[in-house]
Amino acid sequence: MSYSSLEACLLDLERTGQLLRIQEEVDPNLEMAAIHLRVFEQKGPAILFEKVKGSKFRAASNIFGTLERSEFIFRNTLPAVKQLIEMKINPLAAIQHPFNSLSALPAAINALPKKNPIHKPVLFEEINISDLPLIQHWPMDGGAFVTLPQVYTEDADQPGVAKSNLGMYRIQLNGNEYELNKEIGLHYQLHRGIGVHQTKANNKGLPLKVSCFIGGPPAHSVAAVMPLPEGMSEINFAGVLAGKRFGYTYIDDFFISTDADFVITGEVVPGHNKPEGPFGDHLGYYSLQHPFPVMKVHKVYARKNAIWAFTVVGRPPQEDTSFGQLIHKITGAAVSNEIPGLKEVHAVDAAGVHPLLLAIGSERYTPYLENKKPAEILTIANHILGTGQLSLAKFVWITAEEKKSQKGMDSLSPALDVHQVPEFLQFMLSRMDFANDLHFYTNTTIDTLDYSGDGLNSGSKLVLAAYGEQRRTLATKIPALINDLNAHAQIIMPGVIALNANSVSIDLLQEKLKGAGENLLEKKGVALLIITEDASWMAQDFNNFIWATFTRTNPAKDIEGVDSYISNKHWGCKGPLILDATIKKHHAPAVIKDRDVETRVDVILKKYGY
């Protein structure tokens, strides 16, 4: 089934028991987000809020709350989409050369956007920003935000839909210094297409025209976050995934989606920034207040009976996790195929996606050598860090795929899976050469939302590349030398031990363990020592370890090693790595629920069984 609107999708979900209608009036200030979080945590249905305090419009969330629901929504179009991507076919090329891709042609027809000769009063009513459901998600948020926007811009050098960009960049609707109904905040991070468009507009001294769509067919929201092959437009992809052509028109020279529930149009003037944020973001921390472009509001439109689509992000997993799973389901190996030698890649959601990336590559450079060591996988790691949003990875753990010989002599199992995170890390830590396999990238760019570094977009990265035979058996109990530190040591996984920060520091560990590094690593099997505020909490759940360690650590500053040294400007150590995963003064605070709001939500959800 293809949906012509968001409401058509929600009604279909309701027919199959996948929709919860909240009939009470709910406050958009924290309450709606709290309800969403509670239902999501219980793997509950999509939610339709029928009465939003302060707005006449309904709102919907948790639409993509599980991979199963997302697959249900796109059950009739996913096979065709996967075929196009697997065949590396640009839908427009399939139309232009139909005899070369006959099997893909029917789906490709939907890639053509359809210009509708509509009149504004027929489809939309004109409203104000203040008429919208102004949803504040977390207590420290700077205002209300659009969290499922489809932000459309065009190339100033090649205007028109063909070279357009459709991305998901959060929008702040009120608060801070924004003049209500006249200004909104436009936040976008590194490696986003809108940045290229704004640069071109700035170079011409022109304002950048922006159209923000909310709602419409669910496929349009997914298209806005898809990492598409070169040359494939998000608008084209939206049509294929929706099973219907993307409808549009122009009003006052602004591109308008005639399928959307809401449209906000405006202009970004060169050099005009205002403070945006804070915002409780998908790493589980607030992204803090920083200057970002201001969008001067031109007009705001709503269709009849419009529904405001939103999501809530926070410490993963959240609904955006399902987005990632769906994207992986659609693209399959397409991303890894773009990088020669790369077999598998996994940006770990529990760590906030960009902080931790696991990869399996190939080692084909020196098959004539008996001693196995990283070579090609280092090239692949560099390629990863130069490719689109993969380049935002902070920790890259990479090893090589190697099939067993007929004699069964090779030690690397072909069953190694980047999605089995504990097993993958254990595999690498048992093989890693701590003198040679650690490669730091200093004074570089990192994810805008990552505050572990030295400033906004500024920090370091670490590639851990291991290949070859197993070097050590990882520790499953705590050695006496570590217990003697009286730091409440806890085993997290084989080879990894957490220590309480109120008892030890990096400097103290280096001093106390000096000279014992090789024995601890090679004989005792201790590979990583993690300093944290609460070792018991970190050891309680593997995801606590993954989240805290990789979001709170700046590799170049917060990593040392027992018996470390520098040789030819390469850093290495003879003993375990030491990671300071404590919260630093410059870190952003973690998102925390409001107790009073949770109490009110208890009352609302009790009658619905949540």
The per-residue pLDDT for range 107-150, each reduced to its tens digit, is: 778 888 999 876 555 578 999 999 999 999 999 999 999 999 99
Q: Is the pLDDT of residue 308 over 50?
A: yes
Alpha carbon distances (Å) from 552 to 138, 263, 342? 21, 38, 28
Q: Choose from 321-335, 353-367, 406-420, 514-528 the range with maximum mean pLDDT.
A: 514-528
> What percent of the chain is modeled with pLDDT above 70?
90
Q: Is the pLDDT of residue 273 over 80?
A: yes
Q: In a 10 Å sphere around its CB, with 0-12 CB exposed, 13-18 middle and 19+ buried, how is residue 543 labelled? A: middle
Which position has the higher pLDDT, 398 or 99?
Answer: 398
Categorize the per-residue pLDDT at 327 as very low, low, confident or very high, splitting at 50, 70 and 90.
confident
Mean pLDDT of 288-305: 94
Q: Is the pLDDT of residue 14 over 90?
A: yes
Domain ranges of the chain: 6-312, 333-465, 480-580
Mean model confidence pLDDT for the chain: 90
Neighbours of 332 (CB within 10 A): 12
In this predicted structure, what is the pLDDT of residue 405? 44
* Helix extents (H) in 355-489: 376-384, 421-429, 480-483
Categorize the per-residue pLDDT at 86 as very low, low, confident or very high, splitting at 50, 70 and 90.
low
333-465 fold: UbiD C-terminal domain-like (3.40.1670)
Q: Is the pLDDT of residue 373 over 50?
A: yes
In this predicted structure, what is the pLDDT of residue 337? 67
In this predicted structure, what is the pLDDT of residue 415? 75
Range of lowest pLDDT (424-433, 440-449, 478-487): 440-449
Mean pLDDT of 83-93: 61
Number of H helices, E strands in the chain: 21, 30
CA distance 284 to 313: 8
Q: Is the pLDDT of residue 33 over 50?
A: yes
Q: Is the pLDDT of residue 95 over 60?
A: no
CATH architecture of 6-312: Roll (2.30)
pTM given for the model:
0.89
CA distance 152 to 259: 14
Contacts of 450 (CB under 8 A, 6+ apart): 283, 352, 354, 355, 394, 459, 551
Measured at the CA of 393, the angle between CA 323 and CA 291, to 5 degrees, comes to 85
Which position has the higher pLDDT, 401 or 322?
Answer: 322
Mean pLDDT of 42-65: 97
* Strand spans (E) along 472-527: 490-493, 496-500
Q: Is the pLDDT of residue 430 over 70?
A: yes
Q: Is the pLDDT of residue 222 over 60?
A: yes
